Structure 1
């Protein structure tokens, strides 16, 4: 990643405001440094000249004021950096989450979930050092160093020329060290992702490992990955300390060279005390921002590595799955909705010549089907025939060719679907109350207000009236049985239908974990939705669901329906 990546300004508007404020504060701080050096020089020269205290006092008061002002500017720069980092992280996190939602579950499944989680959480948090330490010093280098060199040149050409000749050596060292640092930092970041992925896989499969008595074997694997990460971290620290020492040594020798030159000319009488002292006070300040940029680069390296992966996600404009040339029209990356896009929607949901590819495989070929309002429609077929793929196409998560219309109005995959509610095979419950989980799909559409009466009705229609809306769930819906979690997920789709007046509701295998009584309760609720004139589509192979259907769509491999 470059010192200041343009993509940061493009994806995070707060970064622009931060840079503007940082530039103004950096300019003010530079002027204060010059004033401090001048006032201190004047106070010393007046004292050496034997001037009375009354004559020196105004200079000392002004010097104290400049010291206070400089401290205030440093504090303001730090506050601005921390607030800017928080705002930029928030904007970037919102953008990448929106990107993941736009791409859909198929695209996300093609990536490592642990890697994505690490980038969005720990990786973005590492940008604090980038904004709070690295960027402020980079701005100071761009602003303060040229101004200070110009001032030194105006006072003492020889010292200014020495600074101009010596100061480029520090960036050369920074580039050489930076390459080594980026290499070891990239290895450390990869080791962290391997650790995250390995630990997540272990936790996910711990039950199976326990059953077969293989849980102890994973101890060695996790210890090995952890040791690799520890070794990479120590290597990064070693390189950071060594590079910091090299930069400090180069800057110290440079200032020492200027000091020796000034001292010799002061003894020779070729340079006045006031000029020599003023230049000597400014010389370290000219080198300081450049030294700090190199030193703080290591503190920001974690954030830079994570930002690279984050920008790779945001810049990925590829379609979530391969398709024909016409599939671009239905790609979820499309941001604009075409004219005629159904809003709340009404009428028959019709598929005409719909085809879907998964890589080079045609999963659905020229499918023709109609789902009428007021009917309970069931989609069934053997495993792997493409039922879930059809649902993903209806949701707009995968590219497709053909025509999808609702009430005669075309619906493209890139557009939003306010007319549709959906519950997948996995419940997808989160930590919180049952009521919060049920209202998730519609609470934002209603200005964050939850209708507790509709929550109870949705649970009842999903056959889960025995589940209290106040029940607090753990991670992934912990606290409910598999069947209860499945019905709560169905209730979430039903709540969205009732709260936002969706015309179409799709449920993918909603009763696979239910007994006959619970399944009958869910089917009764779905019948209530159909009786309201809505399009109800259920993907299922359960005999009771098929028997309750008004219309059955039988999917067969590479066939027309």
Structure 2
């Protein structure tokens, strides 16, 4: 990894310390007090042995020393326990804050941004990478502070007793962090590659799992199995590289700590034998001095060794921070229409370290317009819908969608229909003017509206409805209101799915499995329609609601939609041009431009794209009907 990039990531990680709250400081305080208690213990032990062995004092003389010594054992145990608890809580607070910021960022950017990366890769970021920040804040950061404080206190205590012992400690102490840095120089880069491999593996596996039917139909099971094996082996090799670095750093630290303690032991040994006579301040080196310093020597290096042991946590955090920082600092190239409402509340609640230091959110307006009156129109003037990297997807468009108006949106694939729908939902950035008009005539830019309120007035139904794992009742009550079973069943009846629900033994408690397993596409679509109708919304935005449905299900869904939108506004994307005769107006998109507008009769009689599409649609419909009749005749024979 480039050094400048690593410095940026380290600066970002340090700015998040505030999310740990007071727990990080408490962990350091408890660790420091434990170190002070250990110094007192060493002094008591050396004093007792000096008095009993050299001065031949009675053991009763040291009764108080023994009592304090035993008491300090329990005190240190309590301090160690308190440090572990506060350290863990510091990491837990940090993870919660970062995970909330990541999830809120994804909510703000919306599904159009999320679909650019496999679901498994997002799962890796939200789960594994956030989780790998824990040890950095709960163990490494407190230990860095303690590694500077406790050895310094020990040096302050040792130098007045014996300058030679203090000098040995002072000169050998830098060796441990020096070799720790040398060994760990490649650890951050190895962890970064490890996380990248994990994200690729997660995304690859999730995509293959979802497309298992297609893999089997094309007889590519063995090929995909080999691909997953290769990806798994790559991840395993990178993980082992990281572990080798961690174990190597620990071994190096233990070696130099042992050598340093051995030097002290040799010095005092030869001093007691009379071969060395330096290091003291006029008096010979006593047993107390030697024992006191030798007892403290391992504890002098222990904070440094612990820092080395947790050094891999820093490397892990640096590796994990790259994608997290990239996501949280991501700024759309143009003003994002969903900035204000999506982030206004979380910014007020999120810890200052994350919201300010991490640039969690794009720049937003200080004024969020409230929607407190009925919306009667949606107006667009020179509207250009943009991708997140600033590329135009559709536009410029100018139109007005009136209250209770039914509009069909048609055009060739890739014309920009879904992109326009996403902009109206607040999921894509845009340039130009896109405003809502209330009954008092006040126009308000969608980018300045409270989109949570705006979306509560929208009933949306896509061509691939997402039903969540849980009961049917849970899925219907996504709006957050506790509706009665009677109301739920009445809405299901309106969605033409009531008979099916009544036939289920569990009824509203029917458990919907992952990917709506156990339901047909038509049943899932009608349940999704019932869920949309639960909002009692004024505006219906429908994206191919009858796609992938058989004729029976299509008739049921379109009938339910017609009934639900009698006195509502409706903008429907469809390829079924025969469904457009009942629409008040038809908008025809081509190459991102609105090329035709008008009633069905007008457009079907006028030369243009719509008439060409209608002719092709009728030919295709005739072929489908002829094929069906032939199959029926063959069946009778």
The alignment's TM-score, normalised by the length of structure 1, stands at 0.88
Relative to structure 1, the CA distance from residue 406 to residue 457 in structure 2 (aligned partners, 3 Å threshold; closer, same or farther) is farther
Match of 2:425 in 1: 395
CA distance in 2, matches of 1:208, 1:202: 9
CA distance in 1, matches of 2:9, 2:266: 37
Once the two structures are superposed, what CA deviation does each residue of 1:451-490 show, in whole Å capped at 9, x if it has no partner? Answer: 5444334433333323343221122222221122222223
Is 2:53 the counterpart of 1:24?
no
CA distance in 2, matches of 1:261, 1:305: 44
Question: Does the 8 Å CA contact 2:380/2:435 hold for their aligned counterparts?
Answer: yes
1:282 pairs, out of 296, 300, 311, with 296
Relative to structure 1, the CA distance from residue 79 to residue 243 in structure 2 (aligned partners, 3 Å threshold; closer, same or farther) is same
Superposition map of 1:32-111 within 5 A: 32-48=37-53, 49-111=55-117
For residue 351 of structure 1, give the secondary structure of its aligned residue in structure 2. Answer: strand
Once the two structures are superposed, what CA deviation does each residue of 1:159-196 show, in whole Å capped at 9, x if it has no partner? Answer: 22222222112111111111132233333333323322
CA distance in 2, matches of 1:314, 1:363: 24
CA distance in 2, matches of 1:345, 1:364: 28
CA distance in 2, matches of 1:177, 1:548: 73
Question: Does the 8 Å CA contact 1:375/1:530 hold for their aligned counterparts?
Answer: no
Relative to structure 1, the CA distance from residue 147 to residue 463 in structure 2 (aligned partners, 3 Å threshold; closer, same or farther) is farther
Match of 1:335 in 2: 364
Match of 1:433 in 2: 471
Relative to structure 1, the CA distance from residue 488 to residue 330 in structure 2 (aligned partners, 3 Å threshold; closer, same or farther) is same
Is 2:376 the counterpart of 1:347?
yes
CA distance in 1, matches of 2:476, 2:184: 50
1:356 pairs, out of 381, 385, 389, with 385
Is 2:284 the counterpart of 1:270?
yes
Relative to structure 1, the CA distance from residue 158 to residue 6 in structure 2 (aligned partners, 3 Å threshold; closer, same or farther) is same
2:523 pairs, out of 479, 484, 505, with 484
Is 2:411 the counterpart of 1:411?
no
Question: Does the 8 Å CA contact 1:85/1:131 hold for their aligned counterparts?
Answer: yes
Question: Does the 8 Å CA contact 2:371/2:449 hold for their aligned counterparts?
Answer: no
Once the two structures are superposed, what CA deviation does each residue of 1:288-317 show, in whole Å capped at 9, x if it has no partner? Answer: 111111122225644442233212211222
Match of 1:509 in 2: 544
What are structure 2's unaligned runs of at least 5 residues? 1-5, 275-282, 340-361, 502-506, 598-637
1:120 pairs, out of 123, 126, 130, with 126
The alignment's TM-score, normalised by the length of structure 2, stands at 0.79
For residue 221 of structure 2, give the secondary structure of its aligned residue in structure 1. Answer: coil
What are structure 1's unaligned runs of at least 5 residues? none
- The count of corresponding residues between Structure 1 and Structure 2 is 544
Match of 1:216 in 2: 222
Range moving further from structure 2, 470-479 or 146-155: 146-155
Question: Does the 8 Å CA contact 1:119/1:309 hold for their aligned counterparts?
Answer: yes
**Pair member with larger Rg:** 2
In the TM superposition, residue 376 of structure 1 has moved relative to its aligned partner by 2.9
Match of 2:201 in 1: 195
For residue 427 of structure 1, give the secondary structure of its aligned residue in structure 2. Answer: coil
In the TM superposition, residue 345 of structure 1 has moved relative to its aligned partner by 4.7
Match of 1:469 in 2: 508
In the TM superposition, residue 90 of structure 1 has moved relative to its aligned partner by 2.0
CA distance in 1, matches of 2:574, 2:16: 42
In the TM superposition, residue 361 of structure 1 has moved relative to its aligned partner by 5.6
Match of 2:20 in 1: 15
Question: Does the 8 Å CA contact 2:42/2:292 hold for their aligned counterparts?
Answer: yes
Range moving further from structure 2, 261-270 or 349-358: 261-270
Question: Does the 8 Å CA contact 2:94/2:134 hold for their aligned counterparts?
Answer: no
